[in-house]
Amino acid sequence: MSPTSGNGDSAWYYKNWCGHPGALQYLDDGLCAKVFPSNFTRDFKCPNVYQTIPSTYSKDLVASLPERNNWVNESAFTNIPYANQVELAMILVKRDLNGRPYFHYVSNGRQANAYETWSSSKVFVVASAAGAMETACSFGLFGSTAKGNHGPTALGDLATVICSYDETAGYSSNSLSKYFSNVGGRSRLQSLVTNWLGASGNASLGGSYGENPPSDLGSVYCDNGPFSPTCANACVMAPDTSAFPPNTLSALGMAEMTRRLALHNDLLPQNQFPQATWVDMQNVLYGASKSGLFGNLTWGGMTADTAIFVQSAVNMTDVAQRSLGYWRIHSKLGAGYSSSRSVGEIVSNNYACFPALDAHGHARVDQGVEFILSARASVPGDTSLAQAEARIQQAIAAAVNLVVTGAVE
């Protein structure tokens, strides 16, 4: 399947965000192999349905992460490549005939190890800021900054910069992530990890990624987006300048946070990002509904991530045909070389839905897969990240294949 813009524009992706000199094949989409669905809607809900839900699956519950450790099938992926060297957690989803989701947690037994998240946790920072804005301003990521070098700027566009590493707007992913962490606040982020998520041990989330926030964007926000001549209901939010704790989470923790972001409307209110709305999550998943920075782009946000680990694990031609183009992958990469620990690391958080639909667009019962996946590879001395990429790509490919073929369910 050749790259396609689908029902919605993605030309900006191929022109600006993939295929850079020296880019890695799977982490950076060095060959511009990423494809997009031909069916675009921001209200996507995975259509898969099952006649019978296995007893290993549970409905959404209010439970802390340590309790979920007891629910995880830790032997599901013990035979995948590098099983003893990567951390990998998946949450499998099956929906009953009414579309209600049930969840089953599986791993390779290393899902509880906490580690540096690199950039993979940036979308959680943005989602946290959305809730803070909804509380303080009565609007969230649908809004815009009141000013900026490009004029009023849609917050959803800034989420797209974070996910795509766009450089054309003059902002960086790292600086904007700190910008959103200043909006949401450090205490709120840490409370998400310890109280709302219930992570234990040395898990923490500070939201600093090594750069200062852009000075031009300011701290005044408008709820009518960047395309109105006036700034309706202007809201001022003083930035949080307190100290940053480290960004340290486990594969299980990040898979769970990705579940709560991508499946916002399917979950109990207590498991949704606090005070945030589905519109906020849409701006994280897809970027701004009308872009002011990227032309006619519709596939923004987490759909613009350059990591193609999950895509490369399946036959996308078959996925496109079986789903009638109605499929999704949302993801966020993280990667870097730690000079203090002398390791090269790649982290990848993903949501995927690969449906099987009949000619009328109705789900074929007991077919199709839906899952959330988080994985990390860490390789001593791997300054180029080539070895880390090979390990995580092979591990994810094997795990996804086991799920898609029904060997793990």
User: N- to C-terminal Cα distance for the chain?
Assistant: 27
Write down how long the chain is. Answer: 409
Task: For residue range 228-260, list pLDDT tens digits in order.
Answer: 667 878 999 999 989 989 999 999 999 999 999
**What local confidence, expressed as pLDDT, does residue 2 receive?**
39
Residue 93 clears pLDDT 90, i.e. is over it? yes
CA–CA dist 122, 117 (Å, integer) = 9
Beta bridge mates, 105: 91
Give the least confident one: 12-16, 53-57, 196-200, 317-321.
196-200
Task: For residue range 338-364, list pLDDT tens digits in order.
Answer: 999 999 999 999 999 999 999 999 999
Band of residue 3 on the pLDDT scale cut at 50, 70, 90: low
Task: For residue range 138-192, list pLDDT tens digits in order.
Answer: 999 999 999 999 999 999 999 999 999 999 999 999 999 999 999 999 999 999 9
CA–CA dist 259, 265 (Å, integer) = 11
CA–CA dist 244, 205 (Å, integer) = 8
Task: For residue range 10-53, list pLDDT tens digits in order.
Answer: 899 999 999 999 999 999 999 999 999 999 999 999 999 999 99
Task: For residue range 118-143, list pLDDT tens digits in order.
Answer: 999 999 999 999 999 999 999 999 99
Cβ(367)–Cβ(48) below 8 Å: yes
Task: Supply the DSSP symbol for 302.
Answer: G
Task: For residue range 221-232, list pLDDT tens digits in order.
Answer: 998 755 566 787
Residue 5 clears pLDDT 60, i.e. is over it? no
**What local confidence, expressed as pLDDT, does residue 131 receive?**
98
Task: For residue range 263-304, list pLDDT tens digits in order.
Answer: 999 999 999 999 999 999 999 999 999 999 999 999 999 999
Instruction: Please state which CATH class domain 11-404 belongs to.
Output: alpha beta
Mean pLDDT of the chain: 95
Cβ(157)–Cβ(225) below 8 Å: no
Structural Rg of the chain based on CA atoms = 20
For residue 282, give Cα distances in angstroms to 143, 152, 218.
13, 20, 23
Residue 6 clears pLDDT 80, i.e. is over it? no
* β pairing state of 248-250 and 235-236: unpaired
CA–CA dist 360, 324 (Å, integer) = 10
